[in-house]
Amino acid sequence: MKNKRLLLMCLLVLSSNTYAEDQKPTTIEQRMQLLLPYIVDQTLESFSKTVHGGIQHVVVKSADNSVQIKVVQTHLRKMVERYRKGDFSFSEKLHGADMPGLAQLKAAKVDDIKYEYQELTNGGQIHYSSEYPLLVAALHEWFDAQNKQHSNVEINGHKHHHADNNQ
């Protein structure tokens, strides 16, 4: 009887692990919904390369959705704080450790890349910049990967005032 219980327990543990493995998010959209604090379907996100790095915009589609706007703004401020410390763990969880440009960004010295948050009326933006060409190239690779995975959209009023660099 004892052996049957042990066997049954082992089968339950194995089947629950298999179920958990099957439930892991596999697409970028699933990981975004799981990891991001705001409702992804209610936002637009873009990554525009600039001569010295790039600008990430996250805006809420409905300008009167003040709750989501605040959540986006808080999230972006926290991301800037993490990036300034060299912490790219969130990006790694979302996109994977082998994301282009990520290893170089993680290896950069604290002040080699500047991260500036700016609040927008409908969301926020992060300006990434560096004086070092290798880090600018890493930022551009990272932005290209973001654009590929997020299906970058053009946000009205945001792209035209940045010095675009389509390398």
Residue 121: helix, strand or coil by DSSP?
coil
pLDDT band at 155 (very low <50, low <70, confident <90, very high): low
- Please report whether residue 160 resides in a domain: no
Q: Could you tell me if 8 and 81 lie in one domain?
A: no
Please tell me the distance from the alpha carbon of residue 94 to that of residue 89, in angstroms, as a whole number.
9
pLDDT tens sequence across 84-127: 999 999 888 877 888 999 999 999 998 999 999 999 999 999 99
pLDDT at 40: 84
Name the domain count of the chain.
2
Q: Could you tell me if 136 and 62 lie in one domain?
A: yes
- Per this entry, what is the length of the chain? 167
Q: Which two tokens stand for residue 116?
A: 């500036």
pLDDT at 30: 66
- Please report whether residue 155 resides in a domain: no
**Which residues does 108 contact at the CB level (< 8 Å), separation at least 6?**
86, 130, 135, 138
- Please report whether residue 162 resides in a domain: no
- Please report whether residue 158 resides in a domain: no
Please tell me the distance from the alpha carbon of residue 21 to that of residue 162, in angstroms, as a whole number.
43
pLDDT tens sequence across 12-60: 444 444 434 455 556 656 666 677 878 888 999 999 999 999 999 999 9
pLDDT at 3: 55
Mark 3-17 as b/e (b = at least 16 C-beta within 10 Å): eeeeeeeeeeeeeee
pTM (two decimals): 0.75
Q: Could you tell me if 138 and 67 lie in one domain?
A: yes
Residue 120's nearest CA partner among 72, 65, 53 is 72
Q: Where are the beta strands (DSSP E) in 12-52?
A: 43-50
Element (H, E) at 90: helix 89-95
Identify the domain containing residue 58 by its residue range: 36-150
Q: Could you tell me if 69 and 129 lie in one domain?
A: yes
Lowest mean pLDDT among 109-118, 129-138, 144-153: 144-153
Q: Could you tell me if 81 and 58 lie in one domain?
A: yes
